[in-house]
Structure formats: C-alpha cells, structure tokens
Structure 1
Amino acid sequence: MDGDVSLTIRRLNPQEFSVNVPVLVDIYITAMNYDPAIRDARINVWRRNSMNLGFTAVCALLDGRVIGIAYGFRGDQDHWWQHQLRRGLRERGGPSPEEIAILQDYFEVAEVHVMPGHQGRGIGRKMMYALLEGTPAQHAVLSTPEVDEEANNAFGLYRSLGFRDLLRHFRFDGDQREFAVLHADLPLDD
C-alpha cells in the first residue's frame, strides 16, 4: 500500500468536515462495528466538535473514495473529556506533576478510523502524522477500547508512534467498556 500513488491524505477544513460528516460517521460506525442507530447523534457530536479550538481533520482517499478519517482539537479544561480524565487520575491517586503538564497542553485525538479491509496497511499511521503535523500542543492524548494483550491494529499503531499509558481500564461516564488513555510527546518521532 505504501507505493500506491492512488492513496491521498487530505486535510479538511471545518466546513468541508461538517458537510461530509455523514460519510465520515459511517466509516466510524463500520470500523468500530457500532449500531447504526447512533448515526444521527454522532453526526451532531462531530459537527459540534468541528467548532472546537484548534480543530484539525484529515481523511484518507483511495481512488477518490474516503476510506479513513482522523480528527481532533486542542484539549480544554472545560471539555467533558478532560473532566473525565481528571476524575480517572484522581481515582488512581494522581494527577502527578507530569500528568498535570500533559493536561495543560495537549491535542485531543478524538477519532481515528480506517475502513475494514484497508486496516493494517499504514493508512492510520499516515493520517496520524498528517493530523499531528504542526500541532502547537506539546502532547497528544487519545483513548482506545481495551483489548486483551493490546492485540489489535489500533494499539499496534499507537505504540509504534510512541504513545504511552496515561490511564488503563478506565470507564468514561455512560460507557461500560474499559478504555486505555494514551499520550505521546509532540512532534511524533519519525
């Protein structure tokens, strides 16, 4: 796939992202095997996210068809997600001075998804580099569902990019699944 010149990683401005959100959310639902009943709610959330400070989005196009999406924005102490992280760190006995520094200056990688059949070919990696290139934050933070022995493409990608544990086996309010919350220093190493 690396030599395939038909693969393009393209940055989307907030307006392009918002217009294309239905297609992008469909990729998310398919890649994560979620119930399509969540579609309308996720479209609304993603459109609201595009208004966050520092919003950045990239998509992967193969032969002109969107097969991947990644987006994020500057972390903010007033966002629900950071409140959740602070709760998790307190419950674990923190936050430590290093964790406080991370939460004061980070880019939240909100979503990274590649269509099944195209996963494991370096597309997520290319999107992550494009997404985080030039980000003014000192850290990137993301969450991913826990899996036994980190045995999936997502964990492999994040670990290979230098992401380390911030929280493990964490449950966000309203979700019974366990998540790993990972962080990396920016810029990412090549």
Structure 2
Amino acid sequence: MSVVDRADRWEGRRLWPVYRDVFGECGPLPGSGPVDEEWRDQVWDRLRTQPGFRLARAHLDRSLVGFAYGCTSRLPHAHVVGDGQPPLAERFEVVRVGVLPEHRGRGVGAALVRAVTEHLPHEEWVLDAPGDDTDPARGFWSALGWAVVGQGSRAGTVLMGRSTLSPEK
C-alpha cells in the first residue's frame, strides 16, 4: 500500500487500466481522442490538482490491483454526521475507490479507504454512493461505519458520511 499527496499526469496513465476494468469506459465525448486520454484530461487532471488531494494504491507482485483517491471538498449540502454535530465547511471527499474484481472480498478496498483517510485533518469524510440500498457498494461503506446523510450530487445517488469522532468499525 502506498499513499501520495501529489500525482502527475502519468499517474493517471498507470491508474487507467484498473479504473476502466472497475468502472467501464467513460466516453467517448464528441470530438475527443481515446477514452483514456479523455478521462485524464477531464477527470484526473482536475482532481489531482485539488486542495487536499490524496491517492492510495494497492499492488500485488508489482501490479496495481486497486486505488482510492479524494480531496478536500466544500459541498453545498447542509447535513450533519452524528448527533448534533454542525456541518463543517471543509470535508474530505472520497471520490473513487476501485479494486479489480478478482481481488475483491480480501480487504483491499477497506485497506485503501483506511490508507487514503489516515491522518487527515478533516473531521468529516463524505462520498457519493448508489441510491439503491441493496447495491454492494452501500453495504461496503456501511460496514466501514459510513451512513447516509443526505442527497447525492447526481440522480440515483446518496451522500454518505463518516465523522472521525465516530468509533471505527
């Protein structure tokens, strides 16, 4: 497991094969080049330069098998994580966690989440998750102590959050 606070454009090239295998192709958009370049241009380059960016990578025999990344976010949602805690202006947003299918169920995803959120100054972490409570991703996040705290940023999603003041599961 390795964690970095900075990543260059080429790191996106290394992540792309796992991203594609986990999340599928992202495009293409009209008039754009290959899908991996489009993802790097429109997603990766924007996120890797955000304040508080962090990337965790999991390798097995020098091959990338999973990743997690996120950044500091100022979300417009007015919500509370935990009882009576006021919403914070800045949160750490876990943007993506991806583990190759053949490596799931072995604790890789949970280890990536722990690594990418370890030693953060934020008291609240958030992420968009599927709105369907039977989706395996919702079970994954719930098992790690995350709870639905509001509407997600896109249709069919919910906002899940976790306070660092809550006991870890």
Q: How would you bin the TM-score normalised by the shorter chain?
A: 0.7 to 0.9
Letter of the structure 2 residue corresponding to residue 150 of structure 1: T
Of the candidates 165, 168, 173, which is equivalent to residue 148 of structure 2? Answer: 165
Which residue number in structure 1 is paired with residue 90 of structure 2?
A: 105
Per-residue deviation at 1:25? Answer: 2.6
Report if aligned partners of 2:130, 2:138 keep a CA contact under 8 Å in 1: no
4+ aligned runs moved over 6 Å, structure 1: none
TM, length-normalised to structure 1: 0.73
Per-residue deviation at 1:56? Answer: 0.8
Which residue number in structure 2 is paired with residue 123 of structure 1?
A: 108
Per-residue deviation at 1:13? Answer: 4.0
Which residue number in structure 2 is paired with residue 137 of structure 1?
A: 122
- CA distance change for structure 1 residues 75 and 119 in 2, over 3 Å: closer, same or farther? same
Of the candidates 16, 29, 40, which is equivalent to residue 20 of structure 2? Answer: 29
Structure showing the higher helix proportion among its residues: 1
Letter of the structure 1 residue corresponding to residue 45 of structure 2: R
Report if aligned partners of 1:163, 1:184 keep a CA contact under 8 Å in 2: yes
Report if aligned partners of 2:5, 2:52 keep a CA contact under 8 Å in 1: no
> 5+ residue gaps in structure 1?
1-8, 77-81, 90-94
Report if aligned partners of 1:57, 1:70 keep a CA contact under 8 Å in 2: yes
Of the candidates 126, 130, 135, which is equivalent to residue 151 of structure 1? Answer: 135
Question: Aligned partners of 1:137 and 1:171: how far apart in 2?
Answer: 20
Question: Aligned partners of 2:10 and 2:25: how far apart in 1?
Answer: 22
- Alignment partner of 1:157: what SS? helix
Q: Over aligned residues, Cα RMSD in angstroms?
A: 2.3
CA displacement, residues 4-29 of structure 1 (integer Å, 9 cap, x when unaligned): xxxxx1113423x5322123133122
Which residue number in structure 2 is paired with residue 39 of structure 1?
A: 36
> 5+ residue gaps in structure 2?
29-34
Per-residue deviation at 1:61? Answer: 0.2
Letter of the structure 2 residue corresponding to residue 185 of structure 1: S
Question: Aligned partners of 1:24 and 1:103: how far apart in 2?
Answer: 31
Per-residue deviation at 1:189? Answer: 1.0
Of the candidates 147, 161, 165, which is equivalent to residue 183 of structure 1? Answer: 161
TM, length-normalised to structure 2: 0.81
Give the percent of matched residue pairs that are identical in Structure 1 and Structure 2.
23
Per-residue deviation at 1:40? Answer: 2.4
